[in-house]
A = this chain, B = another copy of it.
């Protein structure tokens, strides 16, 4: 039996503040490249691993989310299972390895749906080799040389699909409407803004650095953008960019930005709550003060999770893949090489240090058999520090 090196990132224990590098542990173990007796699934080599903010929600003990917490502890050499149903927590075996979305190559399989060499995307472990037994949500990737493989974790993966489902299914957009996107340089936000522009909307984004603001205006084609850190009066800033109010607010941040947007919404406006509402109940005691605006403005505010819309995924892949290949949308990601950098990269998402700034994935370096990390663009800073804490 061949035993190979298996780098891993372990989750040390539940946290109540922003994740720190030391909340995770990098270690080098070994893996046997076979599926243990009694298990059905695929053994994969992970090529790219995505570093997403939702991972923070799995690092708290409090289980009141759509996805169960990680199990702290030491890793087994080969993971036992990855649950395919986020909500069926009792079917979920955790192994101590951080889990997230990844792109992997099938090494061995006893699941008839897969063959060795298949490229797949889905939930996997932050390690080099993973046994995935819950394969119903594992997707086979059709390689297209015009689309970077890593884009299946961003533009054509969970963040891109979040933008797609959230914008079209939750926001009910109409041509000519005024759209505001926070964390607009993020993995989700950059696509929301571009889809809104293609839909004929007026689009303004907020971000936390001058560089991101420039990207929004010059690369992603937003009508305008502003740096929320330079706006002590956020509501006044929005009024400047939306003198007649906001029809659609795609909320990636919650907190003060949401509070200010509530004051600027138009009648029958819609707010898509996309995974980042500040969980102040568990840390800071700041709250949302302008929620009463829902009533005179008849606002619909709706939380959503992309996995509720998976029936639209094939349509999404076709449409967004085509738009990308036609050059009508662009996408930016930031790649880090090596699983060693993963704990710092995840911590950086929440520290506001990713000035530049990115999305996160690890990628296989075919030569070195290493992994890379993408750090998805984020509207970081005060707001980011508080979400999902």
Contacts and interface: CB of A to CB of B under 8 A. Distances in A.
Interface in A269-291: 273-275, 277-281, 285-291
A254 interface: yes
B289 A294 contact: no
A12 interface: no
A5 interface: no
A351 B226 CA distance: 44
B298 A304 contact: yes
Interface residues of A, number: 42
Count copies of this chain in the complex.
Answer: 2
A90 interface: no
Which of A290, A294, A302, A388 is most buried by chain B, counting CB atoms within 10 A of its CB? Answer: A294
A299 interface: yes
A368 interface: no
Contacts of A300: 300-303
B303 A254 contact: no
A118 to B, nearest CB: 32
B297 A299 contact: no
Interface string A24-45: 0000000000000000000000
Contact of A281 (B278, B289, B295): B289
Nearest to A295: B303
21 contacts: A64-B293, A64-B296, A65-B296, A66-B295, A258-B291, A259-B287, A273-B291, A273-B295, A274-B295, A277-B295, A278-B292, A280-B292, A281-B292, A285-B289, A287-B287, A287-B288, A288-B289, A294-B303, A298-B308, A300-B300, A300-B302
